[in-house]
Chain A
Amino acid sequence: MKHEGDAEAPRPRQDTSRPKVLRRYSDDRQYPGEHPWFALDHAAIIYPSILSDRVSAYYRIQAILDEKVDIPLLQRALDALRPRFPYFQIELRRGFFWFFFERNDEPNLVVEDSKFPMQRLSSGRKGVYLYRVRAHADRVSLEMCHILTDGYGAMIYFRSLLAEYYRLKGVRTEYGPMVFDPNDTPGPGEWEDAFSRYATPGAPGPARIGPAWHLPGIGLPVHTMRVVTGELSLSAALAKAKEHGATLTVYLSSVFLAALQDVQEAEGGDAPRSRRLPLRLQVPANLRNFFPSSTLRNFSLFALPELDTRLGRYEFAEIVARVKATMALAFTPKEIMRTITRNVATAKHPVVRAVPLTMKNLIMRGLYRSHGEALYSSLSTNVGQARLPDSFAARVRRIDVVLPSTPGLKTVAGMLSHGDSLSISFGSVIERRDLERAFFTRLVRDGLKVRVESNLGSADGKDA
């Protein structure tokens, strides 16, 4: 009988004599030793304060393979990969003034998937990781807490995990900047809090904006959520975006805003238009495209395209033009610097730093509601191409990204493409599905063929 290990492919680069390096932590602090720790990055510091049973801050990347997942092999792949990403092998701890990360040496086990993904892990307990790998049938999922990293960092981890899994199955993969060799040593730049590096003291902050309209709706029971995933042809969607003179992100964001407008109009009834709140969509972008950084921690910010529906109903061409213009203006280094500087300067302010964490938590929860979620109606992120290595890309049928919703935003969307498959997943914590329906039926009316699936039927949503 052939042993499982016999099938393992040779590693392209073996590094058996791993040098013991001094770990570099954020804020230029170096504390080697038995209990290394480091600070949260400037995008992450808000999340521990807002975590609750209804706000998990976990998002999910899942791949549907062409065969059933071999869970023991996946566990071996995860165990082999973990040392390469030490900044994810941590637990969240409370200091007197700030939360911080501390090394976690507990085993991280692959867990069985469940009907309701992305439920919050007990980050308050010792030894609990801020991410987990799950498996069910032919699907591998990585649930990552935003405290650790953004979609870019999670995708690299996920790609590397799949590469190691397939290497153990005998498929050799060339390592590179998108797929890390488990035997490599982490570079110091990967630990970096890039926000600190690019904050520019004295830069003015972003303009203030008022609250946005939010979806109404009765919430699903706590610890449950609905995931609706639509799959369509990437080439067809790209062609359609080109028809409208837009990129895919601009096109899909415009469809999202148009769907929000449909729902708002249906909801508004006979209420005067002048009393409507604007529709605003958060569209995140990877800041590594604007500021050189190799960090695998959070480094993303967002644009907020908006429709002021008090002015009347927007035609789709108008929405596309507005989204395109807003994103072009927002995603420039100078504009991004405004928000980076505001966030970093606030966290570094002596008075803010001196406030004990218990009080900070209360303040941050309030600020998140009033200056965070209140400012945008929903969130739509296009992670882009999965860019799986050719060696096993054909063995992955589809990749999805699913975002967790919150009681404030209620329904959010994540998009990811692999091969010719474009996956659009909505995460929702309310019973009504009219936003998802308005979005996908708009795509259908635009001539695109969409296949839709969900983790629960209508009865589940009401009774679960």
Chain B
Amino acid sequence: MPYCSRCGVEVDDGAAECPLCEAPIQRLDAPAAPPGDGPYPQHIIDPQDTYRLSRAERRRIAVEILSLIAILGSGALLLMDLLSSADLGWSRYAVASIIFGWTAACLPIALHGRPKAAVAAVGAASVAFLVVLDAMDGAIGWSLSLGAPIALTSFAAVLATATCIATRRVKGLNLLGIGAIGLAAYLVALESLLRIGILGLERFGEARPYWSLVAALALVPVAVFLFYLHGRVARGADLRKIFRL
């Protein structure tokens, strides 16, 4: 059996180097066994994955395709506008929309595996898009008082609800309950924002939400009932195990 002259240990017939000191194994008698005959398999996870595109490669290709479509589309629209009126008019709105669409599609791909970062980035891009659209008219107005707050609240509500849903290990009727709670909170926030945006902050006292509270009061009992159904009936939950001290 071959051995390492530095460490003095014997090694496998197929070993090209010592597992301890990495020195090459001298062979005077028999040729080395073919590689792959070692004690462990050579594949890391699944041999079938070896010749497939990796997920990272697929993501990179998707971003390339989306970028090419956005560049070609934007270029074509700008050229058409320039050729027809010798000025950039309507095409600015179209190109801004294409850029926003490209951002909203590419960010989740680029931030794969970080859903919170992706939602936050798309939220920021949406606000920026609204402000740019508003600014194209010559002055910034509705985008700051209504557009940005509503967009940010919508993304925050989606993010919070999705996080809550994702952390549930057992998924069933409880997801509907979480969705109902999220919707109730969102509606209250939305009505508050609308009233503040329309009436202004100085009349905030008059801006108490009304219809959204009615909707929330209907949604919350529904959610509680769904949680109860999910936990007690469908899962046979035992409160003693959840709250065991």
* Interface of A toward B, CB cutoff 8 Å: 31, 33-35, 37, 39, 93-98, 100, 102, 112-117, 124-126, 136-137, 139, 227-230, 350, 353-354, 433, 436-437, 440-441, 444-445, 449-458, 464
Contacts and interface: CB of A to CB of B under 8 A. Distances in A.
B87 interface: no
Given A126-B170, A437-B7, A453-B19, A100 B241 contact: yes
A115 B17 contact: no
A436 B22 CA distance: 12
18 contacts: A35-B237, A93-B169, A112-B46, A115-B43, A139-B39, A353-B245, A433-B21, A441-B8, A441-B9, A444-B7, A452-B11, A453-B39, A455-B38, A455-B39, A457-B16, A457-B19, A458-B22, A464-B44
Nearest to A444: B8
Interface residues of B, number: 37
Given A35-B238, A124-B169, A451 B244 contact: no
A437 B21 contact: yes
Contacts of B41: 112-115, 136-137
Q: In this complex, which of B15, B20, B244 has the most chain A Cβ atoms within 10 angstroms of its Cβ?
A: B20
Interface string B204-245: 000000000000000000000000000000011110111111
Contacts of B39: 139, 229, 453-455
A37 B245 contact: no
A402 to B, nearest CB: 11
B10 interface: yes
Interface string B18-52: 11111000000000000000111111111000000
A454 B236 contact: no
A445 B235 CA distance: 62
Contact of A33 (B18, B40, B236, B245): B236
A98 B240 CA distance: 12
Contacts of B8: 441, 444-445, 450
B13 to A, nearest CB: 10
A451 B241 contact: no
Nearest to A436: B20
Contacts of B191: none
B45 A98 contact: no
Contacts of A433: 19-22
Given A34-B236, A450-B8, A451-B11, 13 more contacts: A96-B243, A115-B44, A116-B44, A136-B41, A139-B39, A436-B20, A440-B7, A444-B7, A444-B9, A450-B10, A452-B10, A453-B11, A458-B22
Contact of B9 (A113, A354, A452): A452
Nearest to B42: A115
Interface in B113-140: none
A430 to B, nearest CB: 14
Contact of B44 (A114, A353, A453): A114
A126 B169 CA distance: 6
B81 interface: no
Contact of A31 (B10, B43, B240): B240
B1 interface: yes
B45 A114 contact: yes
A97 B243 contact: yes
Given A33-B236, A450-B10, A98 B15 contact: no
A139 B39 CA distance: 9
Nearest to B46: A112
A450 B237 CA distance: 55
Q: In this complex, which of A125, A136, A458 has the most chain B Cβ atoms within 10 angstroms of its Cβ?
A: A458
Contacts of A457: 16-17, 19, 22
Interface string B79-91: 0000000000000
A347 to B, nearest CB: 11
A450 B242 contact: no
Task: State the 6 A-B residue pairs at the shortest beta-carbon distance, nearest first.
Answer: A454-B19, A455-B40, A458-B22, A444-B8, A451-B10, A437-B20
A440 B15 contact: no
A228 B20 contact: yes
Contacts of B235: 35
A130 to B, nearest CB: 15
A98 B242 CA distance: 8
B182 to A, nearest CB: 21
A124 B22 CA distance: 39
Given A34-B236, A35-B235, A95 B20 contact: no
Nearest to B8: A444
A350 B245 CA distance: 8
Nearest to A460: B42
A39 B244 contact: yes
Contacts of A353: 245
Contacts of A445: 8
Nearest to A137: B41
B19 A95 contact: no
Contact of A113 (B12, B19, B40): B40
B169 A227 contact: no
Contacts of B12: 451, 453
Nearest to A449: B10
Contacts of A35: 235-238
Contacts of A96: 242-243
Given A353-B245, A437-B7, A114 B43 contact: yes
Contacts of A116: 44
A86 B242 CA distance: 21
Contact of B238 (A37, A94, A98, A450): A37
Interface in B135-178: 169-170
Contact of B20 (A94, A114, A136, A452): A452
Contacts of B238: 31, 35, 37
